[in-house]
Structure 1
Amino acid sequence: PRPRRLGQHFENLVAAVLQHSQRYRLVARNVPLRLNGKTLGELDMLVEDRDTGELMHWELALKFYLGLPGGPEERAWPGPNPRDQLVTKIRHLHDRQLTRCDDPVVAALLAEQGWRVGRKVLLTRGRLFHTESGTALPEETNPSHQQGTWLYARTLETAGAVIPHDHWHCPRTLSDNRTDFVAAEVLRDYVQTLSSPVMIRTESGSITFAAPDSWPDH
């Protein structure tokens, strides 16, 4: 059964791929870091490169963000839950999660288990949803990132199928019996009753988010 959190499902998928890899070996995942009963954090994955013998620390993230034109950088790319911000997530990944093994205390804890991390890897997937007017992207963003568009439900003029949350990372894999296209006016009314955006696949096959008028303020 799939876990409720999409991020955890993503970790499970990566772990499954590694189990079938000839080059990489999954050494450990969700490694707790504890000292004198205090939790210092957790490492997503430790992965061995069989070709070099190098042990790598992998941090994973699966995220979706919508660009707000003209907004301040700190709040320009909110997630469906606007408390989740792209800039904040980038800083957390680079400045906190990826640097944990640089801490001598953490390195000593890992050494007690025979682990010495030689490289750090950030594996991020997801999609950034743009508007026609565009929003400046943080410099760390991959130019070839997966993209979509988003709009407010009141401007929705095409029929579409709602993508369930557990398929946000692979919306095109939905079987036909789970893809019910509904009229634009029905979608508008449905989205307006919610508190967060909804992922939609249009009849032309494009992936978009439709947001209620109250988003992201409420």
Structure 2
Amino acid sequence: MRLLVPPGVYRPQEDTRLLAAALRREGLPRAARVLDVGTGSGVLAIAAARQGAAEVTAVDVCARAVLTARLNGMLARRRIRAVRGDLLSPVAGERFDVVLANPPYLPTPPGRYPPRGAARALDGGRDGRVVLDRLCAEVAAVLRPSGVLLLVHSALCGVGPTLALLTAAGLRPHVMERRVVPLGPMTRSRTDWLRRRGLLAPGQETEELVAIRAQRP
């Protein structure tokens, strides 16, 4: 699709494609309401609209990303409600059939958190889980009964904790797909630190992405 991605807005990468594939496999219920958390360019929100969602809401903490998602929605001739705010706060009290999430998950060296600018779409604190843990704990509140969360992140920040937190929140999670991809530029820039922490093996030039599905009973 024709896509506008200005500086400072997360450009779709392998994690975006993995989540888009998970959405295609999931399918959407009739008259579905979809929420895209951390929308960035809005590409996943547009994908949901193209798959027949009746209503799509896109949220991002970055004002430039919100504007970009709106513009890309217009370019794609798809109606998207894009709003600025912190994680799920802009949609408090609303309920959705499907929530899509590609949160910041890159482990971040000391002194670089909280991030600024484009790094806000990537940096997730020392363990990569600052935003991810909040999302896991809070997302059930915006899911309808039988609603589904589709989530992507790197195995560098741990898969077990994600599954445990989603289970504790009352959801039924499982790993849909694992995909090994080359390290991205930001990850490569901190490989020495990641290796000292034991998160990357010596000579390792790839990481594993996981797509997780979690359903509310």
Q: TM-score range by the shorter chain?
A: 0.3 to 0.5
- Based on CA coordinates, which of the two structures has the bigger radius of gyration? 1
More helix by share: 2
More strand by share: 1
Q: Looking at both structures, which has the greater relative contact order when contacts are Cα pairs under 8 Å and sequence separation is at least 6? A: 2
Q: TM-score, normalised by structure 2?
A: 0.33
